[in-house]
């Protein structure tokens, strides 16, 4: 079956959401443009307050991206050359890149095979006298196992920084992502659960001194104007992006509910099409609110890459998050890791596949996705038989 505009299914549909809010979004932009205050200002301050409250934190510091949010957090803790920061080997590159650019050493740990989040036991094994922070990633919209990490952090007097770029609205034991560590780093990249119309990010914390330091760092370390207290850089958030995010924030929990409902439909469809031996469905760990920023399956029997080619030929969006673990990335070879050091992460990189996921995805679209998977995987089974 060849794809047509009516049968194609995008990985993420941004237009439907935009059209539903178009009058409000355009009115907000007009308001900001008419104000003449397009960098920081009252719109950014209001967004910072609203996002911090949503995350059950006291302070928010808006910035240019989720990457900048992590960088601000690291620099606020004065992490630099000679220091080590522990983080998972399986996540988006920015998590490690931000650490490396401070001059500190990224120290990788392996992941839990069920949730793809970092393995607390491996964290405990990697602590040294040079460890300055644990950088916890809540991958794909599900919080990491925090209770043992809290114990480790308390025992070694280490701060926890949350990379919650994919997990705004996620919860662990009824506590929101962003409030589970000393600082939480958020991304508003357009495909996130709360997406801007460009790059944007924010760091939340309940430590007023850290919030003030990050707010200063994002404007070249100026305090007061043209007097530079810290070696900062330009990490400001545009007021236009802030006003758009403020329009969308009240809908976030509704959208998360729609994502959760879509995930349940995927679970059921995979079972109905008898694909559970081929597609391992996402695990929802106890005491979690999984927000399904991505719906990621494991594809069995080495069939992932062929399935990707098939889906794309059918006009069905899909993505591999992530095809290579961080310790295998060329630019991090200087760290001295080798293939085989993190077998669970490496295994994940060979079999993970993200299927289309967005709040407005329809049951018919999901049926087409899984039916197309079934066609390919049954052919593969016949070939193997």
Q: Is 200 a residue whose pLDDT tops 50?
A: yes
Model pTM score:
0.95
Mean pLDDT computed over 255-272: 98
| Average confidence score pLDDT of the chain | 96
Task: Examine the pLDDT at 112 and tell me if it is beyond 80.
Answer: yes
State how beta strands 131-137 and 84-88 pair. Answer: parallel
**Distance from C-alpha of 195 to C-alpha of 183, rounded to nearest angstrom:** 20
Instruction: Calculate the CA 137 to chain-centre distance.
Output: 8
pLDDT at 380: 87
Arch. (CATH architecture) of 15-250? 3-Layer(aba) Sandwich (3.40)
Instruction: Flag whether pLDDT at 373 surpasses 80.
Output: yes
- Give 36-60 pLDDT, tens digit per residue: 999 999 999 999 999 999 999 999 9
**43, 243 Cβ separation under 8 angstroms:** yes
Q: pLDDT per residue over 222-236, tens digit each?
A: 999 999 999 999 999
Helix (H, G, I), strand (E, B) or coil at 111: strand
Q: What would the pLDDT profile of 267-297 be if each residue is shown by its tens digit?
A: 999 999 999 999 999 999 999 999 999 999 9
Band (383; pLDDT cuts 50, 70, 90): confident
Give the tens place of pLDDT for each residue, 53-100. Answer: 999 999 999 999 999 999 999 999 999 999 999 999 999 999 999 999
Task: Write down the domain spans for the chain.
Answer: 15-250, 252-384
Domain 252-384 fold is: 3.90.1150
For residue 384, pLDDT beyond 80: no
pLDDT at 382: 81
The answer to whether the CB of 355 falls within 8 A of the CB of 297 is yes
Cα–Cα dist 376/189, whole Å: 32
- Per-residue pLDDT band for 1 (boundaries 50, 70, 90) equals very low
Measured in degrees and rounded to the nearest 5, phi and psi for residue 145 equal -75, 100
Give the 3-state secondary structure of residue 2. Answer: coil
User: Tokens at residue 182, please?
Assistant: 């000393």
Confidence of residue 7 (pLDDT cuts 50, 70, 90): confident
């Amino acid at each position: 079956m060849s794809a047509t505009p009516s049968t194609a299914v995008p990985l993420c549909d941004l237009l439907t959401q935009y059209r539903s809010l178009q009058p409000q979004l355009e009115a907000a932009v007009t308001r900001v443009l008419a104000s003449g205050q397009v960098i920081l200002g009252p719109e950014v301050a209001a967004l910072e307050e609203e996002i911090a409250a949503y995350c059950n934190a006291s302070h928010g510091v808006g910035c240019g991206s989720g990457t900048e949010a992590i960088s601000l957090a690291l620099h606020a803790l004065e992490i630099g050359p000679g220091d080590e920061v522990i983080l998972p080997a399986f996540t988006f590159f920015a998590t490690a890149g931000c650490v490396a650019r401070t001059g500190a050493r990224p120290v990788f740990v392996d992941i839990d095979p069920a949730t793809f989040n970092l393995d607390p036991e491996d964290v405990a094994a990697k602590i040294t006298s040079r460890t300055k922070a644990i950088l916890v990633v809540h991958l794909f919209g599900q919080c990491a196992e925090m209770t043992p990490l809290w114990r480790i952090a308390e025992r070694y007097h280490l701060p926890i920084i949350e990379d919650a770029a994919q997990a705004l609205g996620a919860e662990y034991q009824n506590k929101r992502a962003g409030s589970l560590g000393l600082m939480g780093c958020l991304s508003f990249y357009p495909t996130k659960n709360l997406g801007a119309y460009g790059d944007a990010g924010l760091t939340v914390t309940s430590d007023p001194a850290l919030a003030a330091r990050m707010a200063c760092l994002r404007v070249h370390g100026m305090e007061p104007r043209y007097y530079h207290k810290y070696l900062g850089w330009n990490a400001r958030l545009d007021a236009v992006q802030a006003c758009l995010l403020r329009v969308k924030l009240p809908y976030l929990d509704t959208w998360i509910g729609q994502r959760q409902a879509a995930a349940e439909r995927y679970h059921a469809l995979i079972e109905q099409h008898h694909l559970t031996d081929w597609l391992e469905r996402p695990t929802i760990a106890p005491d979690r609110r999984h927000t399904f920023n991505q719906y990621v399956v494991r594809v069995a029997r080495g069939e992932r890459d062929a399935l990707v080619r098939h889906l794309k030929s059918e006009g069905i969006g899909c993505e591999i998050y992530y095809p290579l673990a961080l310790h295998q990335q060329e630019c991090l070879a200087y760290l001295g890791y080798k293939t085989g050091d993190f077998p669970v992460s490496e295994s994940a990189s060979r079999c993970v596949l993200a299927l289309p996921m967005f709040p407005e995805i329809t049951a018919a679209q999901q049926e087409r996705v899984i039916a197309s998977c079934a066609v390919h995987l049954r052919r593969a089974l016949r070939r193997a038989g």
